[in-house]
Amino acid sequence: MSSRLVAIRSAAPQVVGVTALTSGASLAVAIIQHWPLWGLGFAAVMPWIPLFVAETAWMYRHYRYLALFYVLAVTQTGHLFEHVAQVTQIHVFHLAGASARGIFGTLDLEWVHFIWNSWVLLAVLLLLPRFRINPWLWATLGLSVWHEIEHLVVFFVYLTTGKSGTPGLLARGGLIGGGLPIPRPDLHFFYNLVETVPLVIGLVWQLHRAYDEQRLEEFVHPSQVTTP
């Protein structure tokens, strides 16, 4: 499995290592300087952006729509970590309110959540016609549709009443039977977890297929294949 993944990525291990060291050093400086939490997140993430952009461009040149799949999986995984941070603040550090809004708390807004989940659903819908036989992508579709419905309800309530943080359909106090006995942050952490896991597995599954198809093409038409 590891050899296949290495065969279809462009970044050298040394580049990844230097990027990781730079990220760690930036985070250390930010901690020493007593930056706010969002600043720590910014310092840790920014060194990875050039590598992410380069990887996306390389993948688009060689695998086209797999680049969108890659961007979706990476960004949704980052979004999941934001929810991990929030539930950690709530359940480990016993914070609440404005102190428990994740790393980038200023983005904890209803319209941001709605736009984000709309982006995930739209990207999945764009990918499915290209990767119809990917079972994990179909699973992601079902989960992302329900997640989008939840945020449609929450966003509608926000637009009509001005209230944010409402439970939606299934969180405690929700519209369906009063919801489940769990608060909204926990429920949406679960939503993002079960949405991200099949998405990432689906990307790996599709990368393996791309590798196998490339090897088959090289075997059948060796003179027509150029090395990426």
One domain, residues 93 and 165: yes
One domain, residues 113 and 162: yes
The token pair that represents 10 in the structure block: 């462009």
Rounded to whole angstroms, the Cα distance separating 219 from 112 reads 48
Smallest CA-to-CA distance from 60 within 154, 158, 1, 130 is with: 130
**pTM metric for this prediction:** 0.87
Q: Any alpha helices (H) in 12-128, and if so which ranges?
A: 13-32, 37-45, 49-63, 66-91, 110-127
Name residues of the chain where pLDDT drops below 70.
1-10, 212-228
Angle between helix 49-63 and helix 13-32 axes, rounded to 10 deg: 150
Rounded to whole angstroms, the Cα distance separating 158 from 176 reads 18
Domain boundary among 12, 43, 63: 63
One domain, residues 6 and 42: yes
Q: What is the pLDDT of residues 65-106, one digit of tens each?
A: 999 999 999 999 999 999 999 999 999 999 999 899 999 998
One domain, residues 158 and 118: yes
pLDDT for 6 equals 42
One domain, residues 159 and 74: yes
One domain, residues 72 and 135: yes
The token pair that represents 53 in the structure block: 């952009």
One domain, residues 1 and 39: yes
One domain, residues 197 and 127: yes
The CA–CA distances, whole Å, from 188 to 17, 18, 78, 165, 191 equal 33, 34, 14, 12, 5
139 close to 198: Cβ distance less than 8 angstroms: yes
Rounded to whole angstroms, the Cα distance separating 37 from 132 reads 41
pLDDT for 210 equals 83
One domain, residues 143 and 53: no
Domain count, the chain: 2
One domain, residues 119 and 155: yes
pLDDT for 63 equals 86
One domain, residues 71 and 45: no
Smallest CA-to-CA distance from 76 within 147, 171, 168, 27 is with: 147
Q: What is the pLDDT of residues 124-137, one digit of tens each?
A: 999 999 999 999 99
One domain, residues 87 and 44: no
Domain that holds residue 16: 1-63
Burial of 84 (0-12, 13-18, 19+ CB in 10 A): middle
